[in-house]
Every structure is written in C-alpha cells, then in structure tokens.
Amino acid sequence: MRYVIIGYSVAAVNAIKSIREVDKTGEITVLTDEASIYSRPLISYFLAGKVKKDKMSFVDASFAKDMNVNMRWSTPVTKIDEKTKTVVTAKNEKIKYDRLLISTGGVPIKPPIDGYSDDIAGVFTFIKLDEVEKLIKYIDKNKIKECVVLGAGLIGMKAAEGLLARKIKIKIVELADRLLANTFDKTASALLEEKLKESGSEFLKETTIKKVVSKGKKLEGVVLSTGKTVKTKLLIVAVGVRANLELAKGTSIKTNRGIVVNERMETSVANIFAAGDVAEGADFLTGSNSVIAIWPVAARQGMTAGFNMAGKITEYDGMFPMNSVTIVGVPSISFGLTNPKTDDYEILSSNEKGKYKKIVIKDNVVVGVVLVNIIERAGIFGLIIKQKLDVSLFKKQLLKDDFGFLVLPKDFRKHYVTGDGTEV
C-alpha cells in the first residue's frame, strides 16, 4: 500500500501514527513545502523570544525515521491527477498513491487593498514560521518601535501578543466593533482593550485599511477607510485564514469553504482523504459541516483519516471551536457558540473585578462559554459541552467561583473517575 500525505503538521503526524498502528510496512511518503516541522500555535511565542526555533517541533527528531516515512521537505505539490492516482511536484516529479491525504492547512486571507502587494518591504502575514523569521529580521534591521495590525481576530491577537513582548507599540485596525468579534461580546472585549491601552497601544474600531502607501517598494504608511493616515514601517495583515484549496482545483474533489469530507474523512473522490484546516468536517454543535481551524480538530481528523486510509473503519463525530489566548497578561478561553444570533438561547454572565464568565445555554445544555481572567475550570466546561449534559439542576452554580467537578451529577462523575478504591 502506497500512502501519500501532502502537508506535514498535526493532522499529518496523527494520520501517520494511525496508519502505523494498522499497517506496519506500507510505504508512506510525505510531501511538504515547509523546511521543518513546528507547532503553529507557538509562532507568537517565537516572535516574542520565549521559544527558540529548535524547540518548536511537537514530535521527536526521530519521528519520521521511527515511523519509516519517506520525508520530502521543501517539495510543493502542484497537481493531483485522480485518474492515474498520481501527484505532481513543483519539480515535475510524478508520485503514485493508493491512498492520498490532503492536509495542506490554510492560507492567509489578503483583502483587496489599494497599493497592497506581497513584495512591499514591511508588509507581512502571520501564518508560517518562515514568515515570522523574516518578520524578526525586518524588526531588528529597521529598529521597529511601532506596528499596525490589520485584524483583531485570533491571528491578529497572537501577532499582537508577540509584538508587545518585544516592546513594540501597536495600532490594531478592525472592521468590527470589538476585539475577537467571532467569540467575544463587548464586555469580554473591553477587558482586553483596557489592558492594551495601558500598554500604550491603540485599537481603531469599525474601520479598515483602504490603501497601503509605499515608496520604492518600502512601506511608509496606511490610509484608513475613515480617511485617517497612519505612518508605519510595519504592517501585519491578519484578517483571517481560508482553507488552501489550490490542489482541489481541476479535480472532482467537492469543495465549499473547505474540502468536504464525510465521517471517515473521505472526500468525494475515492481513496482521497482530507484533514485539518483544509477540511470541512462535522461540527458537533450544529450537526452540519464546517471548517474549524484549530489544533485539536486537526489532530482528531488526522487520526481518523489515518485509520480509514489503512482500512480500520473509524468515524469522526465532530468537534466545536475552542480558542485560548493571553494578551497583555489577560488569559481567556472560549468554547463553542458564544454569540448566538437568535433569541432561543439563555445567556448567563458575571463580571466581578475583571473576571468575566459567559455561559450560553439552549434547552438546558451548555453550547458556549467565554472565560476572561478566570480560566481555571475551563476543562470542566469543555467536558459538559461535549457530553451535552443537562445543567438544569445546577444552572445557578455555573457562574460561581467554586463551580467544579463535584457539582456535576454523581452518576455523570462516575464515568470520569477511575482507580481501585476511589469513591465519588
């Protein structure tokens, strides 16, 4: 059996582990356009100088060798030929497969901005390690003291986190009326915004960049939709990520926002699978398919894909969005559906001394949680969402500081406590 995997991050690694559990001898080839493996969530800490490059990997240096994987670093794939079951590399090499996994991840969204181009010195995105390495060199060479970040979503906030650790003042430009608008409400956002102001940074809401001003391919500033001009030598574009669907073009692979997959991570084309940020798989809360571009989802999808590629039938039952970010010393975690658009949800919230909790409930089941400055019990909230636990009997205790595992029903707790002589 010839397994070919395109892309090499957490989805690919978990797929390899699953394949090897079932098939010890099949040929596994990994093709990646990257030069090394690294944990993408750590790039903000690399920018901050808190993690060195040689500590970025999340697998042992011997992983590929131990798993008997043919690693092809810096080898982009340009085409998938589903009829001949072949992939073509940028060097025009043709590699045959029996089972193919597409785990190409996401690519940064680049909004249509007048004057914007990738070759302007001082303009960066914030997705890959090599981009951040170039960003650090640019900061050091030009002695950057301030920066404009376009986008106040998770990527923009992670970029801001790294920049602030380098004592760089930032101006965050965001079209919405708050930070982390997809998951936070105005109350949660205000807690972060207040701390950002204390750091000397600025948050420009309900506006965007209309024009990039450069001279001789060097960034000089940006013009906002309000007409305001902001001088800057550094711009980070962080408005979001979309699934990297380039390889699906010209094939029969069905795509929507991502590559559409079933519960076995199979695409619409036989013997081709997809996992990670490129895949549009089951959403635990909605029951429909969606792209959930987070690490745990990629890991689970990769594991599921690997088992099915090797012939062990395994189903992915879906997960839900979850994000954790710490900005200017303010830790926050969010799970699930946090900003429902209809009135058939119950919202519980508390905000005491800068500690904010928001619980979103539907039909006595928690479907969303936001925690700011009080994240110690986050794992329990994630558990009760996943288990769809009826919270009607202890709903009033959800917002209390001492809410914890012992508040949960005894019969429920028994399933999560193991060990001889343990009493619950």
pLDDT digit string, tens, across residues 213-258: 999 999 999 999 999 999 999 999 999 999 999 999 999 999 999 9
Res 416: pLDDT: 61
pLDDT at res. 61: 93
- Looking at residue 276, what is its pLDDT? 97
Q: Starting from the edge strand earliest in sequence, which strands make up the sheet with 27-31, in order? A: 69-72, 27-31, 2-6, 99-102, 272-274
Contact 276, 14 (CB under 8 A): no
Q: 100 φ, ψ to 5°?
A: -125, 135
pTM: 0.92
In angstroms, the CA 210 to CA 212 distance is: 7
Alpha carbon distance 294, 285 (integer Å): 16
Tell me the per-residue pLDDT of 157-179, one tens digit each, with 9 for 90 and over: 999 999 999 999 999 999 999 99
Q: Which of 33, 9, 44, 37 is nearest to 136 (CA)?
A: 44
CA 273 to chain centre: 20
- The predicted pLDDT at position 417 comes to 54
Please tell me the predicted confidence (pLDDT) of residue 415. 64
Q: Which residues of the chain have pLDDT under 50?
A: 418-424
List domains and CATH numbers for the chain: 2-105+243-309 (3.50.50.60), 123-239 (3.50.50.60), 332-414 (3.30.390)
